[in-house]
């Protein structure tokens, strides 16, 4: 056999080369950077990418994303905080320290982290970001876990870290876009590098929304439990932590589904704390009952009497500190008032009960009825309760603190007190002092029990006047005898009467002109000032300026100017004691014989346009006024208002006063 020649190596190499392309003049095919569709494959296989292509594509995408992340990180800086985040509410508190109302564009009060109990912080971390103190500010794994657990229907921590949520609350909008999310991640990383974890957690707790219009842990504590955040227990803290997933969705009073969801989330958070070592099992076993919050209240509403209280307190703060409205409107003030919840409730109920017989829809004479009332504590001047009108949102003017309503006969006790304090000028020009048993005889001479007054003598208790036609000053006050008090005011001196009334607590600007009608009560002090003046009698002649605020704090600092006002003696104790004796007789017709209350009313004459009752007991001095008035018009007559008998408008202040004072003395 003839041996065939062996192909040369050059031929083998030629066989492996690409074939020449006739259309290209015999040149070799060019190598492609991306072999797709795949060369050398036919059919569907040519559309399946090689592993090199897949890996290369993934690496390229990763590099592009990383490059984009670096670019965003370098380009995005930490911006200024949103303006809304800097807004806080002013929070007003009752006398017992409980929350009254939050006032401001945003219901928020920032608190330092040290004021938030450790157990509450642990609940927040367990619910939202257990790795907060060790993470870098962002957590891709956390977001992935949240997605997986949500798909499984399990309870989850938040997908974003606390730092990311704080960034969203404080620096960005709430829109859900890729660009905003990229900003969030970049700012979170930078913030984590620049800011301590405690400061971030503090900011997060002060900016998060908890439902019921509450922003921040302090507002939430007030909204759901009516207490300061420092008083929350671990169980309550776990419930508030649950609200971070959605306040309305976890509020038990929004529906059965929301309550079930809240209880489940609350229990999970407590169990999670045990799992993380934040709480031991023994402590966990103490919290088996869901801490039901209180029902939602209008925590930011100035309706009803609340607006009147806030107005009184705000004006007092401005007077004592010099703060402007603009400064107060910036918020962040904690204002502790003298107002007592129980006293406000009882005064409001007394007014409501007394006005049941007033039917403006049926009787024209029952329209435009207004009530004002104020209750002051003798001994220090604290305003414990007021009634300013039907609703502060419908009637801005505060009937308890508005001048313009004549005092009438409730002013007469100050005429008698002035006569006792300064004496009366006799016909011979000498000044004589007297007791309530003094009287004017038939000739007009001022006498004591039938014996002419010895000039300069303090006098002594003697028998009453010999005739009903010659009443003693005590009797004249009880019967509200105008003739006697005109003469007494003139003899004492109208300027002295005015001085004693002002010294006792009324304002000089509310005093009427000094004419012969002045002793009959033409002046128009507010209910607060009438109550203050009567409190001077109750405190043995020592006057205390009325006040409504005990302390004001901002950023934990206590503002100066809110020490309790000091009292000053304005009349002899002997005079005050005698006035209490006389006013007990005057009040007997309204409060009952033998009553320990002392007071004075304007009577029930048909010609009246204003009705008052003012007086005091062992612990409170209270003034109540009732009148009819249309805005911008003169006072309307009371005749026929409320019907007749005890329902007549002239008697209603006495009913309100007695019901309230008896309730407060129990």
Q: What are the angstrom distances between the C-alpha of 205 and each of 14, 171, 211, 254, 296?
A: 76, 15, 14, 24, 21
CA angle 97, 618, 337 (to 5 degrees): 20
Strands in 438-440's sheet, in edge-to-edge order, are 438-440, 446-448, 451-452
User: DSSP H helical segments within 527-649, as ranges?
Assistant: 527-538, 573-591
The CA distance from 419 to 410, in Å, is 16
Quick one: tokens of 70? 């670096």
Strands 568-569 and 621-629: unpaired
Q: What are the angstrom distances between the C-alpha of 103 and each of 50, 91, 113, 482, 552?
A: 67, 6, 23, 48, 15
Which pLDDT score is estimated for 21? 47
Which pLDDT score is estimated for 152? 53
Which pLDDT score is estimated for 16? 45
Environment class of 462 (CB within 10 Å of its CB; exposed 0-12, middle 13-18, buried 19+): middle
Our separate counts of H helices and E strands in the chain read 21, 20
Residue whose C-alpha is closest to residue 524's, from 412, 408, 384: 408
Contact predicate 664/652, CB 8 Å: no
The CA distance from 117 to 185, in Å, is 29
The CA distance from 368 to 360, in Å, is 8
Quick one: tokens of 411? 């002013």
Contact predicate 197/186, CB 8 Å: no
Quick one: tokens of 5? 């020649």
Q: What is the dihedral of CA 612, 618, 619, 620, to 10 degrees?
A: 0
Which pLDDT score is estimated for 388? 95
Within 8 A by CB and 6+ apart from 7, the residues are none
CA atoms within 13 A on the CB side of 436: 23
The CA distance from 645 to 61, in Å, is 92
Contact predicate 616/599, CB 8 Å: yes
Contact predicate 257/246, CB 8 Å: no
| Chain position carrying tokens 């950023």 | 555
Structural domains of the chain sorted by starting position, each given as residue range(s) with its CATH number in brackets? 105-284 (1.10.3810.10), 408-523 (no CATH)
CA atoms within 13 A on the CB side of 45: 4
| Parts of the chain with a pLDDT under 70 | 1-33, 35-43, 45-53, 56, 60, 62-86, 105, 140-159, 171-184, 186, 297-300, 425-432, 443-469, 632, 645-647
Residue whose C-alpha is closest to residue 379's, from 594, 171, 621: 621
Identify each DSSP E strand in 156-221 by its residue range. 214-215
Provide the 10 A C-beta neighbour count for residue 198: 13
DSSP states along 339-368? --HHHHHHHHHHHHHHGGG--TTT-GGGTT
What letters, b where the CB count within 10 A reaches 16 and e where it falls short, cover 230-267?
Answer: eebebbbbbbbbbbbbebebbbbebeeebbebbbebbb
Task: State pTM to two decimals.
Answer: 0.71
Question: For 378, which DSSP code?
Answer: T
């Amino acid at each position: 056999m003839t041996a065939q020649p062996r192909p040369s190596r050059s031929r083998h190499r030629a066989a492996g080369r690409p074939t020449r392309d006739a259309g290209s003049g015999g040149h070799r095919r060019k190598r492609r950077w991306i072999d797709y569709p795949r060369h050398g494959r036919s059919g569907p296989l040519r559309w399946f990418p090689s592993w090199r292509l897949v890996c290369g594509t993934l690496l390229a995408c990763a590099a592009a994303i990383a490059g984009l992340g670096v670019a965003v990180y370098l380009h995005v800086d930490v911006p200024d905080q949103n303006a809304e985040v800097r807004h806080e509410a002013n929070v007003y508190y009752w006398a017992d320290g409980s929350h009254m109302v939050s006032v401001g564009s945003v219901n928020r009060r920032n608190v330092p982290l040290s004021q938030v109990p450790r157990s509450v912080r642990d609940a927040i971390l367990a619910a939202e970001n257990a790795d907060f103190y060790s993470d870098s500010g962002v957590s891709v794994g956390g977001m992935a876990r949240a997605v997986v657990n949500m798909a499984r229907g399990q309870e989850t921590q938040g997908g974003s870290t606390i730092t990311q949520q704080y960034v969203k609350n404080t620096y960005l909008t709430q829109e859900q876009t890729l660009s905003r999310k990229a900003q969030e991640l970049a700012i979170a990383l930078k913030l984590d590098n620049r800011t301590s974890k405690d400061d971030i957690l503090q900011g997060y707790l002060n900016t998060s929304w908890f439902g019921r219009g509450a922003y921040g842990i302090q507002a939430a504590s007030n909204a759901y439990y009516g207490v300061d955040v420092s008083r929350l227990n671990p169980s309550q803290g776990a419930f508030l932590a649950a609200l971070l997933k959605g306040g309305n969705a976890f509020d038990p009073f929004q529906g059965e589904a929301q309550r079930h969801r809240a209880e489940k989330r609350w229990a999970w958070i407590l169990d999670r704390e045990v799992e993380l070592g934040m709480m031991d099992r023994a402590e966990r076993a103490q919290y088996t009952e869901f801490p039901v919050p209180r029902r939602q209240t209008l925590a930011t509403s100035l309706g009803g009497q609340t607006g009147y209280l806030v107005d009184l307190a705000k004006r007092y703060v401005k007077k004592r500190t010099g703060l402007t409205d603009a400064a107060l409107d910036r918020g962040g003030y904690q204002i502790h008032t003298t107002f007592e919840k129980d006293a406000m409730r009882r005064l409001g109920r007394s007014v409501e009960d007394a006005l049941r017989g007033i039917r403006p829809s049926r009787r024209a004479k029952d329209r435009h009825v207004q009530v004002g009332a104020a209750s002051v504590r003798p001994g220090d001047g604290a305003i414990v309760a007021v009634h300013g009108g039907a609703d502060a949102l419908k009637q801005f003017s505060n009937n308890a603190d508005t001048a313009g309503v004549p005092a009438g006969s409730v002013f007469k006790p100050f005429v008698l007190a002035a006569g006792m304090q300064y004496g009366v000028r006799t016909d011979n020009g000498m000044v004589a002092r007297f007791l309530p048993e003094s009287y004017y005889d038939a000739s007009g001479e001022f006498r004591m029990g039938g014996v002419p007054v010895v000039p300069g003598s303090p006098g002594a208790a003697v028998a009453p006047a010999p005739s009903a036609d010659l009443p003693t000053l005590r009797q004249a006050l009880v019967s509200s005898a105008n003739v006697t008090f005109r003469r007494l005011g003139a003899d004492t001196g109208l300027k002295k009467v005015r001085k004693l009334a002002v010294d006792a607590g009324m304002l000089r600007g509310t005093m009427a002109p000094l004419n012969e009608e002045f002793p009959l009560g033409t002046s128009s002090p507010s209910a607060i000032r009438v109550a203050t003046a009567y409190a001077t009698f109750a405190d043995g002649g020592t006057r205390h300026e009325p006040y409504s605020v005990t302390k004001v704090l901002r950023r934990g600092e206590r503002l100066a100017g809110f020490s309790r006002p000091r009292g000053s003696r304005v009349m002899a104790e002997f005079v005050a004691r005698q006035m209490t004796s006389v006013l007990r007789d005057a009040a007997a017709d309204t409060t009952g014989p033998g009553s320990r209350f002392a007071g004075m009313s304007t009577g029930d004459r048909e010609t009246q346009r204003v009705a008052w009752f003012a007086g005091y007991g062992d612990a409170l001095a209270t003034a109540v006024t009732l009148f009819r008035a249309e805005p911008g018009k003169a006072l309307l007559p009371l005749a026929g208002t409320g019907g007749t008998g005890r329902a007549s408008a002239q008697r209603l202040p006495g009913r309100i006063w007695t019901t309230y004072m008896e309730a407060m003395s129990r």
